[in-house]
A and B are shown apart, each in its own frame.
Chain A
Amino acid sequence: MANTLRLYLTCIRNTLEAAMCLQNFPCQEVERHNKPEVELKTSPELLLNPVLICRNEAEKCLIETSINSLRISLKVKQADELENILTKKFLRFLSMRAEAFQVLRRKPVQGYDISFLITNYHCEEMQKQKLIDFIVQFMEDIDKEISELKMSVNTRGRLVATEFLKQFI
């Protein structure tokens, strides 16, 4: 892994370890309701300052924390048009199946490619360290998968082009 990626992921990991201190907090506005405050943003006293971690202009991570929930939004690097459509397709595919991931948001935050929403209930059901490991591993896997997909598409194109040109010989 490149040095910059390692530093980027380490920074995200450390930030998540500090930010993922969630506790149950019922809604202050509507009784008997319990909502993730990071989504509503109605009570500023319950929100912490959002942290933006940028690897470069194309890759960044926004971590927004509140008392009972945490939202992580990622922008994945897209070097060319092919990576752009592959990223869009793949992340949309995952978002549509968000129930399988539990912590994944169905719609990414505007300006980002994919978003996670972690609540205090997730922290109770799952181990905090494992959750952080999952997020970091997910980021690595997405990058790797997009690169492999791009390479596979180009390899397929090359094979098909070879087969087409064989007909002329």
Chain B
Amino acid sequence: MASFERASPALKEILLRIYRNHSHNQCCSCHYSAEKPIEVDHHLYEFGSVEYHIKSSASAPQLTYLSISTPLLTQGVLLSYGLSPYTTQMVREISTDVLEIVEPATEGYQLTLRLDFSKIPRGKDSLKVITEVSSVQSIILSSQLKEMLQSVNSWDASQGMYKPIKLVYHPREPFYVIRQPHKIVAVFPMRFKDYSDVIIATSFFQELMDVGSSEKWAKAPPCNWSPIPPAELRGEPLEDLSTNGGFVSFDISSRHVEGKRLDKTVWSLLNFYAYVKHHVKCTRGFIQRRMRRRLESLVEVLQNSSLEDDRHIRKFQENAGWQYMKKLVKLSSKSKILKRSCRDFTRKIMRIRFRIKIHGFGRFRRRWLTMLKFSSSKGYTKLE
């Protein structure tokens, strides 16, 4: 997933910049101060293997081409090739005036859109349209899930139960949807690499169950966590059911899929894994920060125990007399201390270098072996 927001922030910023440049040029077209239209060719890569390509040429500044490549939602072993007509219809409905699907798509991308910025309404509506265009990836995924839920009949007459539909977005994180007459059950098998992640996530799932079961959140879908696979997943392959984080299930009723809530619900379900992983990562960071802060306060206690001793002795010595006070508390400035230490260091080096002392050699060296100074103290060389 690109981010928890439906609209990609980076894509939105780029499109806004292009739009503002275009609308500024339009306003200033009668003056000579209009800026030259710029060529745009951006490649954006986002978390979750999502890739965008934004291209705009100077010859047609009002047109921008946006290509998208995103992993598609697959149904178990059935791979999804390209976008279904339902998905392309949902994309077209973002804005029929502004947006047009280009066939065929640019090579390496699943979808290419031609955006006509001249058709974007002025004012606050422009931001709304651009935000909706930036959320095209979320629309593709959501419409895929909606289509799957609407078209598939999961009633298995032979077993007398509703068969779970396995949906795969990320290869290692499949989840199940069981479509029943009055509700849809979404089951997420949770897996983590680290044992501490399992514990943090488990405490989060327990809080999720507690919050969901309270009266205040009665309208939210009931949430359930269990360490063992739920009964609905009976018969599924063992490798899909072996987890270390248990199983989280949500009961989605008709109330959660009415009108505008359908998009939100679908997006929340698709993002659940990323949400949990993000929370676990932030909690680990929080624990680390807190431990660092606590370390400083713990060490301070020990340091104070030895410092208090020093202070006690110094107080005694102060009382002993003014002479002792003068010796102990040196009032020389920092620069003098630095000069003194440099001088001591230089002397030490000279002592090490000139180990063999010849009596009188020093005077001989100073008289005959010193380099003549060619620069005069007057700052110029007098020619004779």
- Which of A's residues lie within 8 Å of B, judged by CB? 81-82, 84-86, 89-90, 93-94, 97, 100-103, 125-127, 130-131, 133-134, 137-138, 141, 145, 149, 152-154, 156-158, 160-162, 164-169
**Chain B residues whose CB sits within 8 angstroms of the CB of A138 once the complex forms:** 298, 301
CA distance A53 to B38 in the complex (A): 78
Please give me the residue from chain A that is nearest to B267 by CB atom: A167
Main secondary structure of the interface of B (DSSP, over half): helix
**Chain B residues whose CB sits within 8 angstroms of the CB of A130 once the complex forms:** 305-306, 308-309
Q: State whether A93 and B291 are in contact (beta carbons under 8 Å apart), knowing that A126-B309, A157-B203, A158-B210 are contacts in the complex.
A: yes
Q: Are A131 and B203 in contact (CB under 8 A)?
A: no
Q: Are B291 and A164 in contact (CB under 8 A)?
A: no
Q: State whether A165 and B212 are in contact (beta carbons under 8 Å apart), knowing that A90-B291, A126-B309, A149-B290 are contacts in the complex.
A: yes
Smallest CB-CB A-B distances: 8 pairs: A130-B305, A157-B207, A165-B220, A161-B208, A157-B204, A158-B207, A85-B196, A161-B211
Bin the interface of chain B by size.
Answer: 35 or more
CA distance A100 to B133 in the complex (A): 55
- Which of B's residues lie within 8 Å of A, judged by CB? 195-196, 199-200, 202-204, 206-208, 210-212, 217, 219-221, 223, 256, 261, 264-265, 267-268, 275, 279, 282-283, 286-288, 290-291, 294-295, 298-299, 301-302, 305-306, 308-309
CA distance A126 to B264 in the complex (A): 63
Please give me the residue from chain A that is nearest to B200 by CB atom: A153
For chains A and B in complex, what number of residue pairs have CB atoms within 8 angstroms? 116
**Chain A residues whose CB sits within 8 angstroms of the CB of B217 once the complex forms:** 162, 165, 169
Interchain CB contact (< 8 A) of B298 among A101, A125, A156, A158: A101
Q: Are B298 and A141 in contact (CB under 8 A)?
A: yes
Interchain CB contact (< 8 A) of B211 among A82, A97, A127, A162: A162
Q: State whether A149 and B295 are in contact (beta carbons under 8 Å apart), knowing that A130-B305, A137-B301 are contacts in the complex.
A: no
**Chain A residues whose CB sits within 8 angstroms of the CB of B223 once the complex forms:** 165
Q: Are A94 and B290 in contact (CB under 8 A)?
A: no
Q: State whether A102 and B298 are in contact (beta carbons under 8 Å apart), knowing that A153-B200, A168-B265, A168-B268 are contacts in the complex.
A: no
Min distance, Cβ B214 to any Cβ of chain A, angstroms: 10
Q: Are A167 and B204 in contact (CB under 8 A)?
A: no
Q: Would you give 7 A-B contacts (Cβ < 8 Å), ordered by A? A: A89-B196, A93-B291, A152-B286, A153-B203, A154-B203, A157-B204, A160-B207
